Amino acid sequence: MRNEVTHWTLAETCRHLEAGDCCSVELVEALLAVIAERDPLIHSYIYLNAEEALDAAREADASRAAGKGGRLLGVPIAVKDVLNVRGQPCRCGSRILKGYTAPYDATVIARLRAEGAIFLGRTNMDEFAMGSTTENSAEGPTRNPWNLERVPGGSSGGSAAAVAAGEALAALGSDTGGSVRQPAAFCGCTGLKPTYGLLSRYGLVAYASSLDQVGTLTKDVEDAALLLSVMAGRDPHDSTSLDTPSVHYSAVEGFDLRGLRLGLPKEYFEGGMEWEVERTIQAAIAVCRELGAEIREVSLPHTALAIPTYYLIACAEASTNLARYDGVRYGYRTPDAADVETLHSRTRAEGFGREVKRRIILGTYALSRGYYEEYYGRAQRVRTLIRRDFEEAFRNCDALLTPTTPTAAYPLGERVEDPLRMYLGDVYTVPANLAGLCGLTVPCGFTKELLPVGLQMLGPALGESVLFRVGGAFQKATAWHRQRPPFPVAGSAR
């Protein structure tokens, strides 16, 4: 069963459990065996909830035998180390939260738990979700299951790697500027960033509050739709959550895209992509055209301003959100401080990593007296222009097709000392966060080095159903999402 589990989707697993082909205990044991075999190489997990997961699996099997149900009854899911799960550590990949145990469930976790989901473990991430490689973690780097010498992307790299390696059926992540979609593309997963406000942020540790969004990493579009259906909805604990009616999302039921208008933003195709990525994306666009979609060019003229706008806003909000880590209330505290000022400064200096410090400094400067309007205020005005670009584009098309990333996964260590180059890798993902839109990435091919490439689909606010239709039809017509990394994996890490 262990080898079979690595290929199962969430939906397939639910059907196997319902049919009695396996029980939840067997499922959890099989996944734990896969993790024991593969994770020493990949390092997707930083905490395994093994005993508690097995106890929950026994309870789920008993509930099923008693005729009780739940859409995810007995199904184990991995969770990025940025979401609070009651009784589990929540360190956000940072030393400064050492010793912190979550006293409550995030709303999305509570909704999954109510449907019977089991939380198998916590996955590695860039510290406080600040990074694109999962190298900025106090727990050490995660490696890409397709090649152990390559990054898995970030900041949800642990979640993406776990799903790709068969160590998780599905995983939760967070997406502030592409942190679900980029690692999904690098690892060959399906990654969903919902519309801002569709999923509650209550219990999601804040990086940049106006940009953060819980997202999913799955093996196909059907699973993304299933998880979104369970988690979506208004939450009184989160004032930014949308008061929308309950929706049962599903992947496309048909096999074509006739009647849909799909736009290609010309600014996303004007250079900067690796040639293998561009070739693969163009082939994916051709598949959508063959499925009956009308392909048309659109323009997003302020695209070039998205990266500086994003990093000003995100860092300014991070500066405010991370002020709470002071060594007094919880988490790490420096062992030797003679006064309160020294306690604060040493705790933060010792507890935060370099990338987090860099972003706090940038954000504090942007918010400082005399510079607030010059930097943060101006960035917010540009953000409005970016949102209007998308609104105009969606008057002429139903969704957009773009590359997810300009490159495939690059070598570990290549960009960790070159943050600007790393930031520029988010050029195709950050605009959706600035505009509050939904985005979906699906595997659409490989480079000659067998590294996955992702096709991104962007929809208007609350346009998830359109994205699921496009992504579902594409996956019915292709088999890229069913490819799995070979084991042993390429690369010399041992």
pLDDT at 251 (0 to 100): 67
Task: Specify the 3-state DSSP secondary structure of 155.
Answer: coil
What is the pLDDT at residue 199?
Answer: 98
Q: Is the pLDDT of residue 493 over 50?
A: no
Using an 8 Å Cβ cutoff, are 441 and 457 in contact? yes
pLDDT score recorded for residue 72: 98
How much is the pTM? Answer: 0.96
255 pLDDT band, cuts 50/70/90, is confident
Q: Report the C-alpha gap between 455 and 181 in whole angstroms.
A: 10
According to DSSP, residue 261 is labeled: E
Q: Is residue 162 predicted with pLDDT exceeding 50?
A: yes
Residue 80: active-site member: yes
∠ CA 62-66-71, nearest 5°, is 80
Residue 490 pLDDT > 90, yes or no?
no
Q: What percent of the chain has pLDDT above 90?
A: 88
Does the pLDDT at position 343 exceed 60? yes
Does 94 qualify as catalytic in the annotation?
A: no
Q: What is the pLDDT of residue 387?
A: 98
Confidence at 58, pLDDT banded by 50, 70, 90: very high
User: What CA–CA distance (Å, rounded) separates 273 from 147?
Assistant: 21
* Region 69-97 average pLDDT: 97
What the chain holds in terms of domains, given with CATH numbers, is: 2-263+395-482 (3.90.1300.10)
> Which pLDDT score, from 0 to 100, does residue 250 have?
79
Q: With 70 as the cut, is the pLDDT of residue 242 above it?
A: yes
- So what's the pLDDT on residue 265? 98
Return the residue matching tokens 């929540």.
90
Number of H helices, E strands in the chain: 17, 11
Burial zone of 115 (CB within 10 Å; 0-12 exposed, 13-18 middle, 19+ buried): middle
pLDDT band at 494 (very low <50, low <70, confident <90, very high): very low
Q: Cβ(123)–Cβ(130) under 8 Å? A: no
Catalytic hit among 24, 44, 132, 155:
155
Torsion sign, CA atoms 168, 206, 153, 197: positive
Q: Which of 80, 94, 156, 193 is catalytic?
A: 80
Does 335 have pLDDT greater than 80?
A: yes
Task: Give pLDDT, residue 253.
Answer: 61
User: What pLDDT does residue 245 have?
Assistant: 79
User: Known catalytic residue: 219?
Assistant: no
Mean pLDDT, residues 102-106: 98
For residues 304 and 377, give the distance between their C-alpha atoms in angstroms, rounded to a whole number. Answer: 18
Share the mean pLDDT of the chain: 95
**Residues listed for the chain:** 494
Q: How far apart are CA 258 and CA 292, in angstroms?
A: 4
Q: What is the mean pLDDT of residues 246-264?
A: 84
**Catalytic residue selected from 159, 179, 241, 319:** 179
SS3 labels along 37-50? HHHHHHCCEEEECH
pLDDT at 487: 81
* pLDDT tens digits for range 114-146: 999 999 999 999 999 999 999 999 999 999 999
Query: pLDDT category, 330, cuts 50, 70, 90?
Result: confident
